Amino acid sequence: MGEGIIEATIIRWLVKEGEIVQTDQPLVEIATDKVDSDISAPSSGTVKKIIRKQGEIPKVGELIAVILPEGAEESEFVPIPEIPARQVEEYFNDESFEDSLSHQLNGSEMEVNNETTAMLDEKAGYLSPFVRKVAEDLRISIEELNLIKGSSTSGRITKDDLYHYMEIKKTQIQPLTDMQNTNSKSFISKEQLYNSDYKVVPMNRMRKIIAEHMSYSIRTAPHVTSFHEADLTNVVAWRDKAKEAFRTNYKTRLTFTPIFIQALAKAILEFPLVNVSLDGTDIIVKKDINIGLATMLPDGNLIVPVIRNADRMSLAGMAATVNDLAERAREGKLLPNEIKGGTITLTNLGMFGNLTGIPIINQPESAILAIGSILKKPAVITTKGVPGIAIRDICVLSMSYDHRIIDGALGGSFLARVASLLENYIPDEKFL
């Protein structure tokens, strides 16, 4: 399913049990993160059994259906035993699975204080090592754990329960001691919160994913944001002059976005320690420069298709790729692997008329660059050593970065270099 994808939601089956299918015929629609796609039949045959139903979330590698190959005898078919949903859920909430996942994420076994572990198990029931570690990281006390009701079928507390509790805790009216004395689990009501008529709009699936991903990023990385004002007068003048010839020669639009991406990619070649991820206490320096492009969808949600090996692209190739990904994103035609594997993200706030903003890092990346509106402003410039005031095209660049591994000196220097590359942009003369 692509790098980093571990599960998918079954949206709907396109075939029924007993139906004859052909090789590459779409069998089922699935959703991975923010992208919907089809799974096709690996061979011709008869659909003998559909194991995972609509709305279920199987893991990558898990069996979801059985096809009896064309020409095979019925006697050759070995029935797949029924696996109750309860057993599947308990397996993926089991400590062995969580320990394995934690080992993969952190690269080493997590250390949990033995005394704390015994107290947690005694007070809050059995907690897996992974959940205990999450509770410690979130600074959730034993008393608070007693207030949390586990959502698994066995009643055990999962990591999602802990994160959900932390979100609710922000709107809590009663202090924790009062809640213990009254044994109350009630939090602020909608009536108390709004004190007026209101309308409840449930989040759709994509908005839930965005909300969780952004909350996770803020919880995980200490964000620092640097700002730099860039004079883009030369870039604006060149693009205005070249865009029609560019469209004629390359059959694609020339926006500012490909130019920004090129500058970002060139700066990374000089500052490779910005193109990194953190794995436990190891800094992973990415050799590939894969730039995610934040793209707004027609329903107002956000998706981030990835431009791979951006440092190797010409301006024409970059423009074609950007326009293609943006168009297919709006049409819902992106493939799952086209929103995976980014190493740094660019978001263009200027298209909404915003002067600047503080973007949130797209985990597991370590930096995100935001481009503000390009506005004509009076600015001080120096001509032949003489300062003067002129009308210039000014843009504010802002970059948020993970302060665990990128310090202000590195982040600020990198942002200044991006600005310098844009201010001193040297276009290919053949476009003029």
* 248-292 confidence digits (pLDDT tens): 999 999 999 999 999 999 999 999 999 999 998 999 999 999 999
Q: What 8-state DSSP symbol labels residue 360?
A: P
Q: What is the rounded CA–CA span in Å between residue 277 and residue 269?
A: 16
Task: Tally the C-alpha atoms within 13 A of residue 114's C-alpha that lie toward its C-beta.
Answer: 0
Say which range, 11-25, 223-237, 260-274, has the weakest mean pLDDT: 11-25
Diameter over CA atoms, the chain: 92
Q: Taking the mean position of all CA atoms in its chain, how far away is CA 413?
A: 26
126 pLDDT higher than 80: no
Residue 14's domain comprises: 9-83
Give me the pLDDT at residue 104, please. Answer: 41
> Does any domain span residue 211?
no
pLDDT in tens, 216-227: 899 999 999 999
Closest CA to 49 of 98, 11, 13: 13
Among residues 282, 299, 324, 407, the one annotated as catalytic is 407
Q: Tell me: do 70 and 119 sit in the same domain.
A: no
Is 187 among the domain residues? yes
In this prediction, residue 171 carries a pLDDT of 56
Last residue of some domain: 28, 61, 83?
83
Residues 262 and 301 in one domain: yes
Residue 1 domain flag? no
The answer on 230 and 194 residing in a single domain is: no
- Considering 83, 102, 121, which residue would you say is the last residue of a domain? 83
Residue 107 domain-assigned (yes or no): yes
User: Mean pLDDT throughout 361-384?
Assistant: 94
Of 151, 153, 155, 100, the closest CA to residue 129 belongs to 100
Are 76 and 99 within one domain? no
- Which residue would you say has higher pLDDT here, 186 or 152? 152
The CATH number covering residue 239 comes to: 3.30.559.10
Q: Is 403 assigned a catalytic role?
A: yes
CA distance 385 to 426: 23
Measured between alpha carbons, how far is 320 from 415 in angstroms, rounded to an integer? 26
pLDDT in tens, 155-177: 678 777 787 777 776 655 444 44
Phi, psi of 355 (to 5 degrees): -65, -45
Same domain (yes/no): 163, 294: no
Q: Which two tokens stand for residue 165?
A: 């509790």
Categorize the per-residue pLDDT at 135 as very low, low, confident or very high, splitting at 50, 70 and 90.
confident
Residue 55 lies in a domain: yes
71 with 109, same domain: the answer is: no
Residue 210 resides in a domain: no
Answer with the one of 83, 114, 141 that is the final residue of a domain: 83
| Residues 247 and 194 placed together within one structural domain of the fold | no
CA angle 142, 146, 150 (to 5 degrees): 120
The enclosing domain of 71 has a CATH number of: 2.40.50.100
Does 69 share its domain with 187? no
| pLDDT number for residue 34 | 64
pLDDT at res. 93 = 46
Residue 400 and residue 304 in one domain: yes
pLDDT-based confidence at 208, cuts 50/70/90? Answer: confident
Establish if 344 belongs to a structural domain: yes
Catalytic residue selected from 164, 213, 223, 403: 403
Is 371 contained in some domain?
yes
| Residues 407-425: tens digit of each pLDDT | 999 999 999 999 999 999 8
Look at the chain and report how many structural domains it folds into.
3
Looking at the fold, whether 332 and 404 belong to one and the same domain comes out as yes
Q: Is 407 a catalytic residue?
A: yes
The better pLDDT of the pair 110, 413 is held by 413
Element (H, E) at 60: none
Up-side HSE of residue 357: CA atoms within 13 Å toward CB? 18
Same domain? 274 vs 140: no
Q: How confident is the model at residue 78 (pLDDT cuts 50, 70, 90)?
A: low
Note whether 405 and 260 are same-domain residues: yes
